[in-house]
Amino acid sequence: MFKPPFFDDPTLPDLQSPESASRRETVMAAVHELAASLGRAIDAKDPHTLAHSEEVAEVARVLARSLGLSSPEADIVHVAGHLHDIGKIGVPDAVLCKPGRLTEAEWDRMRAHPAIGAEILAPLSCLSGLGVVEMVAAHHERFDGGGYPLGLAGRAIPIGARIIAVADSLSAMLQSRPYRPAMTFEAARAELLRCRGAQFDPDVVAAFLAAQDVVRQLCRSLREKDRPLFPGMCGPERPGVRP
C-alpha cells in the first residue's frame, strides 16, 4: 500500500490484510449508511447547515485520495466526515443557534463537542480500530498546536482529522449564516491558503489545490440537490448553527 512520506498515522489500520479486507466488505456499507443518517440528523437542527456533514464527508474523501491515501483509507475518512459534528448533540441549541457573539462560557460548551463526539462513538464496535473516533476527537485541532481539545500539533494530529479540518472549514465558508454571507469558492480558497501551516496542514491544502476543480463541482452539485430533512427546526429566533 502506497503511503506518502508524510503519512505516518497509527490510527489508520492496515486495510490490505485478508482479515481487514473481509471485515471491511461486511461492515463498511452499513457503517456508511449509519454515518450518513446520523450526519443528516445533526445537520437537520438548522437549515443554514443543511447537508454540511455530507459535504464535509464527500470533500474529505476527494482530498484523501488527492493526498495519496488508498481507497479504503479514504472511505474511513469519509465516514468520519459524516460523523465529525455528532458531539453537537451535547451542546445546547441556545448555543449552537445563537446569532451573535458567544460568551466565553458558551465557547467552552462549543469547544467540548469533539470530545463529546468521541465519547458517543467510542462504544460502537463497528468503528473499533478504524481511527474514526480519533478523527472526530481531533477535527478542531490546528496544525500549529492552537486548536482544541488537546492542543495537538503537526503530525500528532491524525491525518484524517487534518483532512476533515480543511473540508469542514471549506464547507462552512461556502454556507451563509445569519451573521455573515456565504463566501465564494475563490474567497474560501484564498482563506485556506492564508491559513496553511497555521490552522491547516500545508500538505492537505496542497491536495485541495490539486483537486480544486473536482471539489468545486462537487460542492455545487450538493447545493443543487439540498432539501431540508426537518425544515426550520431551529426556528426564526435561533437561526444558525455555527461551523
pLDDT of residue 204: 99
pLDDT of residue 31: 78
- pLDDT cut 70: percent of the chain above it: 78
Domain segments of the chain as ranges: 18-224
pLDDT of residue 181: 87
CATH number for the domain whose boundaries are 18-224: 1.10.3210.10
pTM over 0.95: no
pLDDT at 111 over 50: yes
More confident residue, 181 or 236: 181
Which of 123, 107, 60, 114 lies closest to 89 in space, CA to CA?
A: 114
pLDDT at 178 over 70: no
pLDDT band at 94 (very low <50, low <70, confident <90, very high): confident
**pLDDT tens per residue across span 46-88:** 655 668 999 999 999 999 999 999 999 999 999 999 999 999 9
pLDDT at 12 over 60: no
pLDDT of residue 128: 86
pLDDT of residue 20: 60
**pLDDT tens per residue across span 117-158:** 999 999 998 888 899 999 999 999 999 999 999 999 999 999
In the block, which residue shows the cell 465564494? 184
pLDDT band at 115 (very low <50, low <70, confident <90, very high): very high
Q: How many CB atoms lie within 10 A of CB 139?
A: 30
Rg for the chain, CA atoms, rounded = 17
> Can you read off the three cell numbers belonging to residue 218?
462537487
Which of 34-38, 46-50, 190-194 is predicted least confidently? 46-50
Average pLDDT over residues 209-233: 78
Rounded CA-CA distance 215/205 in Å is: 12
Q: Quick check: 199 and 237 in contact, CB under 8 A?
A: no
Which letter, b or e, does each residue of 30-56 get, where b requires 16 or more Cβ atoms within 10 Å of its Cβ?
A: ebeebbbebbbebbbbbbbbbbbbbbb
pLDDT at 9 over 60: no
Which of 8-22, 112-126, 159-173, 216-230 is predicted least confidently? 8-22
Average pLDDT, the chain: 84
pLDDT of residue 17: 62
Q: Is 217 left (phi over 0), alpha (psi -120 to 50) or beta?
A: alpha
More confident residue, 3 or 18: 18
Rounded CA-CA distance 46/50 in Å is: 7
pLDDT of residue 1: 30
